[in-house]
Structure 1
Amino acid sequence: MTTPTRSARGRLFSRGSWPEAARIAEALRAETTGGLLLIAGAVVAVVWANTPWSSAYDHLRDWQLGPASLDLHLSLAGWASDGLLAIFFFVAGLELKREFVAGDLRDPRRAALPVAAAVGGMAMPAVLYALVNTLAADGAPGGWAIPTATDIAFAVAILAVISTHLPTGLRTFLLTLAVVDDLLAITIIALFYTDRLHLGWLLLALVPIAVFGTLVQRRVYSPWLLVPLALAAWALVHASGVHATVAGVVLGFTVPVLRRDGGPGRGLAEHLEHLVRPLSAGVAVPVFAFFAAGVTLGGWHGIGRALQDPVTIGVVLGLVVGKTSGIAGSTWLLATFTRADLDDELSWWDVLGMAMLAGVGFTVSLLIGELAFGTGSARDAHVKVGVLLGSVLAATVAAIVLRARNRVYRRIEALETLDVDRDGVPDVFENDWDR
């Protein structure tokens, strides 16, 4: 019996294709800036909410404006979660479609790892949260989805802060995992956190969505046409009872990925993503973080009371233990029961560090907490404590593990930037054994 060659066995966390590596590097640079702004917004909110001027923060967050029609008389926090996050999910929709049509996820071999890791990384936190809150007498199992989401902007900002030279394969995995994670989170929000459904409004929303889709398929991308259609679709989906962010994803799915002439180069989806991502990462998500993260802790007594709530315990365990075990465990199972090996330059410590980093959950976790328990409720406040504490713990442990491997990452990065041909593509991407 012969041992399979490397080309036959395949590699986990390989660097992937050069176009995908270059695109992901650009996306991560944008996410790094957005992540730092997100962290700044969250810190300002938490500090302000725990000063003598906390009532001013509450008044600003709860200030309502907008027309009463279509249920659009919302607080500023409501506009941030229902409105601004629709921009975030529109970018997620563009990214999802591009990954599955033209990215590395179109290859089932490359898609297997991030899909399996994302599923495991959502299932284990949900199971741990549900277990804690089912066994507790005053538990709230309905919040099972809160610790399932990974916040890519927050995670990438952590990488920027700790200044680790993460290799291309791990960066690609992190972003692709977050893309699949977003798809699953969107599905959960649509299926499990829709309290009421007005079918008429939902059917009516299909009209602007269809017109939007027809225009972009014809490569019409005038903002004077697309933005009003997107706003109409968002308002009608909001009125239907389905969370309005779902409209952003659906609109993103309608945008064509490939160029009309079939040639190489940036398609409309990538073009729109390039235009909208700065608005999403630099404005929408940080503003949401500012309004969502402001929880009054009430000193050590208040923190202690929150830590006694099964909801807080379940969220922290889900993010720190569930994410790590789910992602690392799924990767180990894939390596054990298939013919895939880790990339030669990496070790299982790298997998563990990335799995821990994926435990940084913020934007979608806070959104699901609001949907599960109601904005401003006591349990929603405890969700915020759990998300903040769990994300900080996950980020701290991940930083320790990844920084310990930084010398290895720096050597890999040096190899990836050597020997660039006239075509601008490093030889290491052209000469991979599995290309």
Structure 2
Amino acid sequence: MPDNRIHRNARTLFDRGSWAETARITQILRRETVGGALLLTATVLALVWANSPWSASYDALGEYTLGSDRLGLHLDLSLATWAADGLLAIFFFVVGLELKREFVAGDLRDPRRAALPIAAAIGGMVVPALVFVAFTWNAGDGAVRGWAIPTATDIAFAVAVLAVISTHLPAALRTFLLTLAVVDDLLAVTVIAVFYTEDINFGALGLALVPIGLFAVCVQRRLRAWWILLPLAFLAWALVHESGVHATVAGVLLGFTVPVLRSASAGGPDAGPGLAEHFEHRIRPLSAGFAVPVFAFFAAGVTVGGVQGLTSALQDPIAMGIVAGLVVGKAVGIFATTALLATITKATLDAALRWIDVFGIALLAGIGFTVSLLIGDLAYGLGSERDEHVKIGVITGSVVSAMLAAILLSLRNRHYRDVCAEEARDDDHDGMPDVYQRH
């Protein structure tokens, strides 16, 4: 079977990967576009309600308690907490699936291709953190605790911005953006587990390994029975929640247990897509269409207090650090790391792209929302004054990053259109663009 990749210089950044991987990334981004639209709708609704005469009912809804503390698991939680701890675990389960697929079966199983998004994600995490610390170092009273807030990228919002400006973003940059965001999410979960976990109940954490292990055994045997897997997943989540480690970590761990490659010897359902792809196809719509928008609805509702209140909140060093971290730190961190990697490896940019295109993607990665709000809750406490300033900072920084990225990418759209037309040509009508068949 011929190799369908283009044989390019191994030291070329953002060259095209395989057609199978490009098609998969394109499909994922289409779904994330819908999720981004729902996320935006939920955010606007929360902001309008929280700043309306009926704001008290919004607060009451988020504080409404649901659940039970029977069996010692303390699951009598407010709706806002259920959204942050429970629904986001679904989101991070999909993140775990996606990350494993990228490194097991995707183009990023090649260490040379994986190095760029991983390095960029690290740079896009370190620099915003340093920017935030610079703003809050002398603010006192634990202000620096929120250093990780501006380090996250919200892929759903970023893709929604791309859809709105109708850019013909080249496949290599779209893949880079998605992979960067997925690695970013993994780093964020690691930060949450390590730096935002104070008291650990090792007994509950040890018990959580039992349902996680049973879940792993079931999925390795290609078991798809929801009435077995869902109870195991919920028990694992509940025990991780009880342990003091943020419950979203359970979602990532469960995602990592799912096999990516289909069974080579089995027939029947296993002759089709691997189990990770099957789960992702089923659960991603639930994550993007329900879990994340509902979390945003409960997390984004902040009382601004008019122009004066907004101005006052943005004068808080915490809010200023978040805005600067998202807008400046993210762009500088990702772009500088990419340029540094190119210099060290003596790599050249793909002929179809320019460095200004990379900077546009770096700006777009400054849209931090879902995970940023979650870390803000963990850093300063849900409902605190600082938590309110975090929300204003995250929303402001994300909007500014989106606007700057949209302006820059729109200016480059004509060039993107020409590149996209070349990538889409299929003169032999075999369903695969010709550019992926040339040698």
Q: What is the TM-score of this pair, normalised by structure 2? A: 0.95
Tell me whether 1:162 sits opposite 2:165 in the alignment. Answer: yes
Alignment deviations for residues 190-214 of structure 1 (CA, whole Å, 9 cap, x no partner): 1011121000001001111100000
Instruction: Quote the residue 1:227 is aligned against.
Output: 230
- The 8 Å contact of residues 196 and 241 in structure 1, kept in 2 or not, is answered as yes
- 1:139: Cα distance to partner? 6.6
Aligned equivalents of 2:166 and 2:383: distance in 1? Answer: 36
* Residue 154 of structure 2: aligned partner: 151
Q: Which residue of 1 aligns with 2:21?
A: 20
Contact 1:9 1:339 (8 Å CA) reproduced: no
1:412 maps to 419
Distance of aligned partners of 1:8 and 1:411 in 2 relative to their CA distance in 1, 3 Å threshold: closer
Q: Which position in structure 1 is the counterpart of 2:437?
A: 430
Query: 1:8–1:160: structure 2 CA closer, same or farther, 3 Å change rule?
Result: closer
User: Within 1, Cα distance between the matches of 2:378 and 2:66?
Assistant: 20
Matches within 5 A, 1:328-343: 328-343=335-350
Distance in 1, matches of 2:381 and 2:32, equals: 29
Q: Counterparts of 1:23-102 in structure 2 under 5 Å? A: 23-69=24-70, 70-102=73-105
Q: What residue identity is the alignment partner of 1:175?
A: L
**How much does 1:136 deviate?**
3.5
Structure-1 separation of matches of 2:438 and 2:68:
60
Judge conservation of contact 2:11–2:345 (CA < 8 Å) in 1. no
Aligned to 2:364: 357
Q: Say if 1:139 and 1:310, in contact at 8 Å, map to a contact too.
A: no
Match for 2:356: what amino acid? W
RMSD: 1.4
Q: Deviations over 1:30-67 (max 9, x none)?
A: 10000100000000001110011111111111111100
Report deviation, 1:422: 5.3
Specify the alignment match of 1:295 in structure 2.
302
Quick one: distance in 1 between partners of 2:53 and 2:389? 21
**CA deviation vs aligned residue, 1:66-89 (integer Å, no higher than 9, x gap):** 002312111110000000000000
Map of 1:210 onto structure 2: 213
Tell whether the 8 Å contact from 1:237 to 1:247 is kept in structure 2 after alignment. yes
Tell me whether 1:321 sits opposite 2:324 in the alignment. no
Q: Is the 8 A contact 2:14 2:349 kept in 1?
A: yes
Q: How much has 1:339 moved relative to structure 2?
A: 2.7
Match of 1:113 among 102, 111, 116: 116
Q: Give the equivalent residue in structure 2 for 1:191.
A: 194
Q: For residues 134-156 of structure 1, give each alpha carbon's deviation from its aligned partner in whole angstroms, at most 9, with x where no partner exists.
A: 03356711000000000000100
Q: Which runs of 4+ in 1 moved over 3 A?
A: 6-9, 135-139, 262-265, 420-423
Corresponding residue for residue 304 of structure 1:
311
Identity %: 65
Hey, what does 1:3 align to over in structure 2? none
The TM-score with structure 1 as length reference comes to 0.96
Is the 2:88–2:295 contact (alpha carbons within 8 Å) kept by the matching residues of 1?
Answer: yes
* Residue equivalent to 1:371: 378
In 2, Cα distance between equivalents of 1:430 and 1:147: 41
Other-structure match for 1:131: 134
* Bigger mean CA offset, 227-236 vs 411-420: 411-420
Letter of the 2:295 partner, please give it: F
Partner SS state of residue 71, structure 1:
coil
Q: Which runs of 5+ in 1 are unaligned?
A: 1-5
Q: Distance in 1 between matches of 2:196 and 2:18?
A: 38
- SS of the residue aligned with 1:194? coil
Tell me how far apart the structure 1 counterparts of residues 181 and 327 of structure 2 sit (CA, whole Å).
16
Partner of 1:10: 11
Could you report, residue by residue, the CA deviation over 1:169-219 in whole angstroms, capped at 9, with x for unpaired residues? 110000010111011011001101112100000100111110000000000
AA of the residue aligned to 1:290: F
Displacement of 1:7 in angstroms is 3.7
Q: Which stretch has the larger CA shift, 259-268 or 59-68?
A: 259-268
Supply the AA of the counterpart residue of 1:143: G
Which of 268, 280, 289 in structure 2 is aligned with 1:282? 289
Residue 116 of structure 2 aligns to a residue whose secondary structure is helix
Q: 1-side partners of 2:351 and 2:9: how far apart?
A: 15
1:105 Cα deviation from its structure 2 partner: 1.3
In 1, Cα distance between equivalents of 2:428 and 2:347: 30
Quick check: 1:15–1:172 contact (8 Å CA) kept in 2? no
Secondary structure of 1:286's aligned partner: helix
State which drifts further: 119-128 or 130-139: 130-139
Between stretches 376-385 and 99-108, larger displacement belongs to 99-108
Tell me the matched-pair count: 427
1:236 aligns with 2:239: yes
The 8 Å contact of residues 263 and 271 in structure 2, kept in 1 or not, is answered as: no
TM-fit CA distance, 1:420: 5.0
Aligned equivalents of 1:195, 1:139: Cα separation in 2: 14
Distance 1:357 1:253 in 2: 28
Residue 399 (structure 1) aligned to one of 392, 400, 406: 406
Matched AA of 2:74? D
Counterpart-to-counterpart distance in 2, 1:405 and 1:422: 29
